[in-house]
Amino acid sequence: MRMKKYPRRPSGILRRASRSAPTSAGTAAENPNVLKVRFGKVTVEVQRTGQDAVRRNIQKGHEVMLGVEHALLRPGIDLKVERGVPLYHADPTRPELIVRHLNGETKTGRFINGQFEPQH
């Protein structure tokens, strides 16, 4: 069985010769409902979207935004805390100390050699 040889790009990646199949809509030059967009050496032709589809998609977008509006307008995040996983934050009254919340206990301390050492 004989293998096809493809030209190599300067980066060494193989490149196959492209083949495009004709579409029933025709090209942008032939059909005003086809939109032609060029990105460097790549040209993409797509069927233009009708106004009814645009209105439908805008309406769907509004419905989605109404569903997540409460989450976007509320500051902060919700953390799901699991047992055995500590949460740390700076002590608001003494910034040189760290507060650790672990399994319902709150302790203040410092990190020494990568380990949390509670303050006595």
DSSP codes of every residue in 45-104: EEEPPPHHHHHHHHHHHHHHHHHHHHHHHS-S----PPTT--EEEE-SS-TTSEEEEETT
Looking at the structure, tell me whether residues 42 and 68 fall in a common domain. yes
Q: How far apart are the first and last CA of the chain?
A: 78
* Residue 11, in any domain of the structure: no
Which one has a higher pLDDT value, 117 or 17? 117
The dihedral region occupied by 43, where left means phi > 0, alpha psi between -120 and 50, and beta the remainder, is beta
Cα–Cα distances in angstroms (integers) from residue 20 to residues 27, 45, 120, in the given order: 12, 11, 74
- pLDDT for residue 23 is more than 90: no
Q: Are 8 and 17 in contact (CB under 8 A)?
A: no
Domain that holds residue 96: 87-115
* Residue 13, in any domain of the structure: no
pTM, two decimals, is: 0.39
79: amino acid identity, one letter: L
Q: How many domains does the chain have?
A: 2
* Residue 81, in any domain of the structure: no
* Residue 47, in any domain of the structure: yes
Residues 36-43 have a mean pLDDT of 87
* Residue 7, in any domain of the structure: no
* Residue 4, in any domain of the structure: no
Looking at the structure, tell me whether residues 67 and 93 fall in a common domain. no
> Alpha-carbon distance 100 to 117, whole Å?
10
Dump pLDDT digits (tens) for 56-84: 999 999 988 888 877 777 787 777 888 99
Looking at the structure, tell me whether residues 41 and 68 fall in a common domain. yes
